[in-house]
DNA sequence: TCGTTAATGCTACATCCGTCGCGTTAACGA
DNA sequence: TCGTTAACGCGACGGATGTAGCATTAACGA
């Protein structure tokens, strides 16, 4: 088996079409039946791509979900700018809540898959690190405005605002209570001001 | 099949002994091989309890882990009292970090199992709700001391302090950086003071 | 102590999951 | 256009997982 450095990939026509069919099947199954139903066999049947192909290219459900996340990430994300740190964090939190409660439930599926699939774990972490890095500007803007202490750590503030949502919604499986986005955004904004 | 209301259970000798052997095997496998290795077959083999019995009583790995958590919970937990909210939250966080990084990795195993097993999901949520309820006193003490605003929500403060640890360590699989317990404890304590 | 039956062990079975080796199709660059 | 071979499809296989029905053991209360 030649290693990757010596193989010329064929990303064109058929291969791209196969990927599209498979990822479309993943999204459909996720939306209609939830993440437990995303298996290689189910995706293969739905997409009419042979199951051996799915195993070879994606390895397991986590690989499928990670690729679905990659495909969705092709659209650039920019953090909100509402004029206040509290407003920005509330808006970020609203997006997290939408991701955790909306359809298709990609984030929850990836979290679940991440415990069994290195590909899913890696995709999830990279996604979140990217989001936190991009969102850091909401804290640096707040510092410039005097809305946050000069020594406030942007990443820690963002994690403090968003992590409770993952904990409450994904891990504790609580319903999304009204005001949830605002509650932890307000606490994180107050923390950023207090140092 | 008579329903549960009409069945007289036999919790004695053999049944208790079976449970003990099984839960001991769960702990051993978790400690030595990690949560992926906790399967019904592995536990059955290790404990010398027949696999059918394990399926019938515990249903799946999640059920085994949930029962392991129940057994461990028979020791009462009390929140720390260090004299300051920041200190208390730091101590609580240190315990969460120990649970997430120490051996046996019960919490991480339960989180993983909770996506496939209602019993695990339920046990995890009940455990955390109990912990948050018991720990609420650290915030009410802080309010009485003037260490926190009178309108600080104890549960939200506790979630804000601890959730980042689950996010960083369990979901993002980051290493436990030095000062992690203190960092999010300090932010939550500042948030509690700022309202 | 005895009768009832919950709890357990055993064997067999079906389905799902993952892999293998071979044949076929089609994506490339020359 | 042609040759090479990556990508895909197919059928077969073995192991893991979960269930069903029957037999055996032992936990209860009377």
Q: pLDDT tens, A146-193? A: 999 999 999 999 999 999 999 999 999 999 999 999 999 999 999 999
Domain harbouring B24, CATH code? 1.10.10.60
Distance B14 CA to D25 C1' (A): 10
Q: Which of A28, A44, A72 is the C-terminal boundary of a domain?
A: A72
Shared domain check, B167 and B115: yes
Q: Please, which positions of strand D sit below 7 A from a protein CB?
A: 6-11, 16-21, 26-29
Shared domain check, B172 and B96: yes
User: B178 lies in a domain?
Assistant: yes
Shared domain check, A92 and A14: no
Let me know: does A115 contact B167? Beta carbons within 8 Å.
no
Domain harbouring A164, CATH code? 1.10.357.10
Shared domain check, A140 and A106: yes
User: A167 lies in a domain?
Assistant: yes
* Strand C–CB A54 distance below 7 A: no
CA–CA separation, B111 and B170 (whole Å): 8
Which DSSP category does A84 fall into?
S
Shared domain check, B66 and B120: no
User: B66 lies in a domain?
Assistant: yes
Partner-chain contact A166 B163, CB within 8 Å: yes
User: A77 lies in a domain?
Assistant: no
Average pLDDT over residues A103-122: 95
Nearest residue to C7 via alpha carbon and C1': B15
Whether residue A52 is predicted with pLDDT greater than 60 in this model: the reply is: yes
* Strand C–CB A52 distance below 7 A: yes
* Strand D–CB B60 distance below 7 A: yes
How many domains does the structure of chain B reveal? 2
Shared domain check, B120 and B53: no
CA–CA separation, A154 and A148 (whole Å): 10
Give the HSE-up count for residue B152: Cα atoms under 13 Å, Cβ half-sphere.
33
Shared domain check, A91 and A64: no
Which stretches of chain B score pLDDT less than 50?
Answer: 1
User: A78 lies in a domain?
Assistant: no
User: A101 lies in a domain?
Assistant: yes
Shared domain check, A93 and A187: yes
Average pLDDT over residues A66-71: 95
Percent of chain A residues past pLDDT 90, beyond the cut: 89
pLDDT value, residue B73: 81
In this prediction the ipTM stands at: 0.93
User: How far apart are the CA of A5 and the nearest CA of chain B, in angstroms?
Assistant: 29
Shared domain check, A178 and A105: yes
CA–CA separation, A15 and A12 (whole Å): 6
Distance B118 CA to C5 C1' (A): 29
Residue-number span of the structural domain to which A42 is assigned: 4-72
Shared domain check, B187 and B121: yes
Q: Which of B72, B93, B121 is the C-terminal boundary of a domain?
A: B72
Whether residue A1 is predicted with pLDDT greater than 50 in this model: the reply is: no
pLDDT value, residue B7: 79
User: B79 lies in a domain?
Assistant: no
pLDDT value, residue A125: 97
* Residue with more model confidence, A3 or A161: A161
User: What SS3 state is found at B183?
Assistant: helix
> Distances from the Cα of A28 to the Cαs of A32, A110, A138, B95, in angstroms?
6, 15, 34, 41
pLDDT value, residue A194: 86
Let me know: does B44 contact B50? Beta carbons within 8 Å.
yes
Q: Across chain A, what does the average pLDDT equal? A: 94
Shared domain check, A14 and A57: yes
- H helices then E strands: how many in chain B? 9, 0
Shared domain check, A187 and A117: yes
Q: Which of A50, A72, A94 is the C-terminal boundary of a domain?
A: A72
User: A170 lies in a domain?
Assistant: yes
């Amino acid at each position: 088996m030649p290693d990757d450095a010596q193989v010329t990939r064929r990303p064109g026509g058929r291969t791209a079409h196969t990927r599209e069919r498979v990822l479309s099947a993943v999204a459909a199954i996720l939306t209609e039946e939830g993440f437990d139903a995303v298996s290689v066999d189910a995706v293969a049947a739905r997409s009419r791509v042979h199951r051996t192909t799915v195993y070879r290219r994606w390895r397991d459900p986590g690989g499928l979900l990670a690729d679905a996340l990659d495909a969705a990430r092709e659209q650039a994300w920019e953090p909100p700018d509402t004029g206040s740190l509290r407003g920005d964090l509330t808006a970020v939190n609203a997006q997290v809540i939408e991701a955790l409660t909306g359809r298709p439930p990609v984030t929850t599926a990836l979290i679940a898959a991440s415990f069994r699939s290195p590909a899913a774990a890696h995709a999830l972490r990279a996604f979140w690190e990217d989001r936190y890095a991009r969102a850091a500007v909401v804290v640096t803007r707040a510092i410039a405005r005097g809305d946050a202490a000069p020594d406030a750590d942007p990443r820690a503030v963002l994690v403090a605002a968003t992590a409770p949502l993952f904990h409450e919604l994904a891990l504790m499986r609580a319903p999304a209570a009204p005001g949830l986005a605002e509650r932890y955004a307000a606490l994180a904004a107050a923390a950023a001001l207090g140092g």
